[in-house]
Amino acid sequence: MSKLFVNMTSHDAIEAPKDRSGRLVEKGDRRSSDGLNIPLVVGKVRECADHTGQVNAMAVDVVFNPWVIGRCQEDTIFKSTTGDLALTWVADECNLKIGKTGWKLIKSRYKGGLGENSDEP
């Protein structure tokens, strides 16, 4: 399968990032990703359909603290860096070979889920 959808999601159970001094970031903090320790959890890879409806892709969830997803929505550079981080961890945790260049963000809420629209984790 040549397509991999990485769902970058959030949950309060994931600890907020810490700076170099070990201090948790606070709500409203607008810092860059430099020097941050960003906790995350990688889910299981599963088969899913792409926009054609054919099951010829895979999906995996990467769960961050809500602060991280909020920063991604505000800052495209932070989003790109976080995407690279997610891909690195997916490749390592799921034993996949993933090209780190050439990935793109798509206008989609969630891929490979349950429910009528396959958008429920």
- Sequential pLDDT tens for the chain (121 residues): 578 999 999 999 999 999 888 888 877 666 667 779 999 999 999 998 877 877 888 999 999 999 999 999 999 999 999 999 999 999 999 998 887 666 777 777 777 777 776 666 6
Domain count, the chain: 1
pLDDT reported for residue 104:
76
Does residue 110 belong to any structural domain of this protein? no
Q: Where are the beta strands (DSSP E) in 1-121?
A: 3-10, 41-42, 46-49, 55-64
46-49 and 55-64 beta bridge pairing: antiparallel
Does residue 75 belong to any structural domain of this protein? yes
3-10 and 55-64 beta bridge pairing: parallel
Does residue 45 belong to any structural domain of this protein? yes
Q: Which two tokens stand for residue 17?
A: 């990032």
Find, among 4, 24, 8, the residue nearest to 85 by Cα.
Answer: 8
pTM of the predicted model as reported, rounded to 2 decimal places: 0.85
Does residue 121 belong to any structural domain of this protein? no
Does residue 19 belong to any structural domain of this protein? yes
pLDDT reported for residue 53:
79
Does residue 27 belong to any structural domain of this protein? yes
Range of the domain at 63: 3-94
